[in-house]
A and B are shown apart, each in its own frame.
Chain A
């Protein structure tokens, strides 16, 4: 069963890391996920200042805006999609993720299955 781990990064210091989620911690985690054979996909997202929002209204008009900017302290910073037997296994991987530390959180969402 596929689960998406949505990583909401917590407090980040000047070097882009925080206690328990230094670059080395992320690399170690990424290696574990790959070696466990559960990785479907995963990406780290570029800084939020680069984000652009698109909306299309009822008349088909496109609105493009800069942002969003961080209105809450938690910002989607990246994701993994993993394939594991059940929610407990997914929660274990989420708990190991450096993004769950230092005020961050990882939201675990099952990927919808269509058809049989």
Chain B
């Protein structure tokens, strides 16, 4: 069996790569519109690629058409019709699909944006890619592939798996979508509260993987975080009235605004209290901060809105001591009531330590000692180590640092923990006889 050629791009990649980047947005809309029309992701994907290829060949010669989106759509539809003529079995299946697909959708379909000449059907695709019937690990991959427009090798790099593995995963997930008939539809108003959190979770997990990579030499993978923000912006545009979408976008912006200050010149992790606040992205902070009241107004708060409010308090403080810790603790109380989790309890304990002192924080952390979810979560022993160090209990602090070191996934995190460990072991040696 022959290997496929490695670089599928071809020799004249450079000029077309420029045009390709222009297409990225259009391509997603085209794909979603074709999926809507044919109810088949494979067919839509294939003819989308063919239409884009045709555009790359023709536009430099004939000039860019007045309505590029309409041109792409017409071309793609013609290719699809050709394909269906050739493949009678597929045509028969799609005919059945088409007849059954006209389920009424209760949610209003977003109005097309001004200027766009393609209907925006991408919200449907978001819900399909994040469908709870798909494996959690595949939802992010599908979302990156079909909504962020990444290639399969790019998605593979995002999840640090070989391209062939990712291709298999995506193929398997697409097969489930097709054969179990996971629909391309926006859930109705009654279902939306149950389904939207799944879409937000997928987007946020792409972001957190970018923000604090779970493994690898680098702490942050900013391209991935930026893809997630792009996705959140798109969701926010498609669902402007959903406050948790607003909250998610605000949270991501407020966290991402600190990206440049989070790592030092050698890629080492810099914690909040040592960050150079001049290196924060202040326009991005402004944008995120403006979204927080929108996310928290007009109904009970949601978990992303509350987390965004916490992030806004962090970036609004002049320094760590000047941070409004009582308010942050209060917000963690709200968050814990909305979405109780050991990780929230851990963060709350750290905030209590800032408000009431390390002893109070440590007492709360020790209550979490038996949480199975924290057992392999290095921030837990790292937080304990930090408080034990501040309480001048170096031996216990060293033990906690070692526990954290054994769990931390990226080199910058390990380097920071080693520095902490060195500090407490030196202290102990000096204090010894």
A interface residue numbers (CB < 8 A to B): 1, 85-89, 91, 108, 110, 116
Contacts of A116 in B (CB 8 A): 88-89, 92-93
B415 close to A (CB within 8 Å): no
Q: Can you name 5 extra interface pairs (CB under 8 A) apart from A86-B181, A86-B182, A87-B133?
A: A85-B103, A86-B100, A87-B180, A108-B180, A110-B179
Helix, strand, loop or mixed for chain B's interface? loop
Query: Is B179's CB under 8 angstroms from A86's CB?
Result: no
Contacts of B101 in A (CB 8 A): 85-86
Interface residues of B in 165-184 (CB under 8 A from A): 179-183
Query: Is A85's CB under 8 angstroms from B182's CB?
Result: no
Cα separation A110 to B286 with both chains bound (whole Å): 49
Out of A86, A108, A110, name the residue touching B183 (CB < 8 Å).
Answer: A86
B185 close to A (CB within 8 Å): yes
Cα separation A87 to B183 with both chains bound (whole Å): 7
Query: Is B183's CB under 8 angstroms from A88's CB?
Result: yes
Query: Is A85's CB under 8 angstroms from B100's CB?
Result: yes
Contacts of A87 in B (CB 8 A): 131, 133, 180-183
Interface residues of B in 70-97 (CB under 8 A from A): 88-89, 92-93
Task: Looking at the assembled complex, report how far the CB atom of B132 sits from the nearest CB atom of chain A, in whole angstroms.
Answer: 8
Contacts of A108 in B (CB 8 A): 180
Cα separation A89 to B180 with both chains bound (whole Å): 11
Contacts of B89 in A (CB 8 A): 116
Task: Looking at the assembled complex, report how far the CB atom of A19 sits from the nearest CB atom of chain B, in whole angstroms.
Answer: 22
Cα separation A87 to B182 with both chains bound (whole Å): 5
Interface size grouping (class) on chain B: 10 to 19
Contacts of B133 in A (CB 8 A): 87, 91
Cα separation A89 to B179 with both chains bound (whole Å): 15
Contacts of A91 in B (CB 8 A): 133
Query: Is B180's CB under 8 angstroms from A110's CB?
Result: yes
Cα separation A88 to B127 with both chains bound (whole Å): 11
Cα separation A67 to B293 with both chains bound (whole Å): 62
Contacts of A89 in B (CB 8 A): 103
User: Shortest 9 CB-CB distances between A and B: which pairs?
Assistant: A86-B183, A116-B92, A85-B100, A86-B181, A110-B180, A87-B182, A87-B180, A1-B181, A88-B183
Contacts of B131 in A (CB 8 A): 87
- Among B103, B131, B180, B182, chain A packs the most CB atoms within 10 A around the CB of B180
Sample 14 A-B pairs with CB under 8 A, ordered by A number: A86-B103, A86-B183, A86-B185, A87-B131, A87-B133, A87-B180, A87-B181, A88-B183, A89-B103, A110-B179, A110-B181, A116-B88, A116-B92, A116-B93
Task: Looking at the assembled complex, report how far the CB atom of B43 sits from the nearest CB atom of chain A, in whole angstroms.
Answer: 16
Looking across the interface, which residue of chain B has its beta carbon closest to that of A83? B100
Cα separation A91 to B183 with both chains bound (whole Å): 12
Cα separation A1 to B185 with both chains bound (whole Å): 16
Cα separation A86 to B180 with both chains bound (whole Å): 8
Contacts of B88 in A (CB 8 A): 116
Query: Is A1's CB under 8 angstroms from B100's CB?
Result: yes
Contacts of A110 in B (CB 8 A): 179-181
Task: Looking at the assembled complex, report how far the CB atom of B432 sits from the nearest CB atom of chain A, in whole angstroms.
Answer: 56
Given contacts A1-B100, A116-B89, A116-B92, contact A85 B183 (CB under 8 A): yes
Looking across the interface, which residue of chain B has its beta carbon closest to that of A92? B191
Cα separation A84 to B100 with both chains bound (whole Å): 9
Looking across the interface, which residue of chain B has its beta carbon closest to that of A95? B194
Task: Looking at the assembled complex, report how far the CB atom of B37 sits from the nearest CB atom of chain A, in whole angstroms.
Answer: 16
Cα separation A116 to B92 with both chains bound (whole Å): 6
Cα separation A87 to B101 with both chains bound (whole Å): 12
Cα separation A111 to B133 with both chains bound (whole Å): 16
Cα separation A13 to B309 with both chains bound (whole Å): 48
Cα separation A110 to B175 with both chains bound (whole Å): 12
Task: Looking at the assembled complex, report how far the CB atom of A36 sits from the nearest CB atom of chain B, in whole angstroms.
Answer: 14
Cα separation A106 to B303 with both chains bound (whole Å): 30
Contacts of B103 in A (CB 8 A): 85-86, 89
Out of B100, B179, B185, name the residue touching A88 (CB < 8 Å).
Answer: B185
Cα separation A108 to B185 with both chains bound (whole Å): 19
